[in-house]
A and B are shown apart, each in its own frame.
Chain A
């Protein structure tokens, strides 16, 4: 369980995250949704210690995320952000191997190689593993980064808008992969999503933010409603029931 206690962050007097207290479960898929500027990414950055807090604490199974050794945290929690920097001349396999750093400090053990192979296979990259990262398409590269955080083999996997550079088919494939990971491997997946329908279809729990606060928190049935979404985004929504899923329409 990750416990957030009154997390606060402001940039130049502008309050971005306003005293958020939450418990993120140790299993299942949790999506964070909300309009631009709601503080979703900032919240995720603070939970994953990429960003310091102005006030509040993050407790990761008894570990204070902002005070514990970074390596200790990295063995339990992996974070994937959008603006990853790509090292020059690196191959897919070498990138995924960097995900083992918290366990091996760069000297790979047999267990590391197994984890790397498994991550490559899960992300459908086994055939591309010797290719240079710069030779890949945007979608393949995104999958390579996902494989890297999978190889890290952590209880918690945090992703900040992982679908951004993916086309429809690859976006769905990635969501299925995360769902499977959670179901079969017991990983707790926490992700910031812009597409509320992916959140609706694949999540166990949806947290909706607006103006730096959590305004809705519950199952897709509770959050993907016309009333709740209109409140969160400040715009009209229609919610349709299709094959047992709740699909929100906001195109008109």
Chain B
């Protein structure tokens, strides 16, 4: 366990050094601050998505479900679309970034809590009902967004598209700072409830049997997940399969049920994956694509493989 953490920490540092120094020719004072900002965004968002996924998977007792897969990303697209559509492109562009961010996050937070409550209930519904409800909710949200895209003013659509694709290189510094504070607090919250999450994995009856306030713990966990995904998505856009990838890789690496270990390792794996991915994107692929699509390519394949494996059991 210690060796895993040490190796991953070294890998994170190595990847960070690579991202910061690869191909800087001369203009360090220009390159370094921008790259540091990107690095910070990658690490913070990676950690948030990793922690959110591990917590979410414990509550839903599944290794396949993630907030994104349960309709969260389409909810984000819908909320962003509704905001641009209702305010108009000019207003959306003129709004101070922090106000837009706060609006986006606030609506997301409320809507996602409602979505989680509706789809997951108290976590006792079983995988199939949950997946079905999530897929239906996701399809509904996408359809509404699709409709709005069609009736939207082209300028507004243009503004919206810039907002909807995951981007780690063009983040407002103030937003990043605010987001970092909120996300750090939520991650700390998740670590503080690690032992309660260990018990929660016994299922509802088992957890109540050993004296856990099940309802409260599930609500608290879901609130943390909602904060983590809302803020990180509002910051950089949806990165759909990242959580699935890093959470499952972490479970393999730790080989334990303990959330303290799984949360930490998942965070480190996410940091390594995102930072390395970004470095590759910038230098090998020469920015031809986005990190989000790179993750979706790898993550999508893993997701399908896991579904097939699970259905054969």
A107 to B260 CA separation, bound complex (whole angstroms): 13
Which chain B residues border A102 with CB–CB below 8 Å? 210-211
Q: Is A88 in contact with B251, judged by CB distance below 8 angstroms? A: yes
A24 contacts B by Cβ under 8 Å:
no
Contact (Cβ within 8 A) A70 B213: yes
14 pairs, A vs B, C-beta closer than 8 Å: A48-B209, A50-B208, A70-B212, A71-B211, A73-B211, A78-B210, A79-B205, A79-B209, A85-B201, A85-B206, A88-B257, A90-B257, A99-B210, A101-B210
**CB within 8 A of B208: which of A49, A83, A107, A148?**
A49
Is B35 an interface position by the 8 A CB rule?
A: no
- With contacts A85-B202, A87-B202, A89-B256 taken as known, whether A101 is within 8 angstroms of B61 at the C-beta atoms is no
Asked if A75 CB lies within 8 Å of chain B CBs, one says yes
Interface string of A38-76 (1 = CB under 8 A from B): 000000000011100000000000000000011111110
Q: Name B210's closest neighbour in chain A (CB-CB).
A: A101
Docked pose: A99 CA to B258 CA in angstroms = 15
A229 touches B (CB below 8 Å): no
A26 to chain B, nearest CB (A): 19
B23 is an interface residue with CB less than 8 A from chain A: no
* Residues in B whose Cβ lies below 8 Å from that of A78: 209-210
Cβ distance B205 to chain A, nearest Cβ, rounded Å: 5
Q: Which residues of A contact B198 (CB under 8 A)?
A: 87, 98, 106
Residues of B within 8 Å of A87, CB to CB, are: 198, 201-202, 257
The number of chain A residues touching the other chain, given as a range, is: 20 to 34
Convert B173-209 into 0s and 1s, putting 1 for each residue whose CB lies closer than 8 angstroms to a CB of A. 0000000000000000000000110110111111011
Verify if B96 is at the interface (C-beta below 8 Å from A).
Answer: no
- CB pair A101–B206 under 8 Å, yes or no, is no
The binding surface of chain A is classed by DSSP as loop
Q: Is A14 part of the binding interface, using a Cβ–Cβ cutoff of 8 Å?
A: no
Task: State how many angstroms separate the Cβ of A156 from the closest Cβ of chain B.
Answer: 12
Smallest Cβ distance from B125 to chain A, in angstroms? 13
A149 at the binding interface (Cβ < 8 Å): yes
Bound Cα distance A99, B195 (Å)? 13
Which B residues are within 8 Å of any A CB, using their own CB? 61, 63, 195-196, 198-199, 201-206, 208-214, 251, 254-258
Tell me if B195 and A84 are in contact (CB < 8 A). no
- Identify which of A75, A79, A101, A152 contacts B212 (C-beta below 8 A): A101
Chain A residues within CB distance 8 Å of chain B: 48-50, 69-75, 78-81, 83-85, 87-90, 94, 98-99, 101-102, 105-107, 148-149, 152
Q: Of all chain B residues, which has the CB nearest A75?
A: B211
Instruction: Give the chain A neighbours of B61 by CB distance below 8 A.
Output: 85
Which A residues lie within 8 Å of B206 (CB)? 81, 84-85
Alpha-carbon gap, A88 to B254, bound state (A): 12
Given A87-B198, A89-B256, A102-B210, A50–B205 Cβ distance below 8 Å?
Answer: yes
A90 to B255, CA, bound (A): 8
With the chains together, A80 CA to B195 CA distance in Å?
21
- B-chain residues with CB within 8 Å of residue A48 when the two chains form the complex: 209
Q: In whole Å, how far is B197's beta carbon from the nearest beta carbon of chain A?
A: 10
A75 vs B251: C-alpha distance when bound (angstroms): 32
The complex places the Cα of A81 from the Cα of B202 at a distance, in Å, of 11
Q: A85-B61, A85-B201, A105-B195 in contact; A94/B257 too (CB < 8 A)?
A: yes
Residues of B within 8 A of A85 (CB): 61, 201-203, 206
CB–CB B211/A83 < 8 A: no
B248 vs chain A, min Cβ distance (A): 11
Task: Tell me if B199 and A101 are in contact (CB < 8 A).
Answer: yes
Task: Find chain A residues with CB under 8 A from B255 CB.
Answer: 89
From A49, A74, A89, give the contact of B251 (CB < 8 A): A89
A72 to B202, CA, bound (A): 19
Q: Please, which residues of chain B bring their CB within 8 A of the CB of A152?
A: 210
Q: How far is the CA of A101 from the CA of B208 in the complex (A)?
A: 11
Are B211 and A98 in contact, CB atoms less than 8 angstroms apart?
Answer: no
Contacts of B196 in A (CB 8 A): 106
Known: A89-B256, A94-B258. 8 other contacts (CB 8 A): A71-B211, A75-B211, A81-B209, A84-B202, A84-B203, A87-B257, A90-B257, A98-B202
Residues of B within 8 Å of A99, CB to CB, are 210
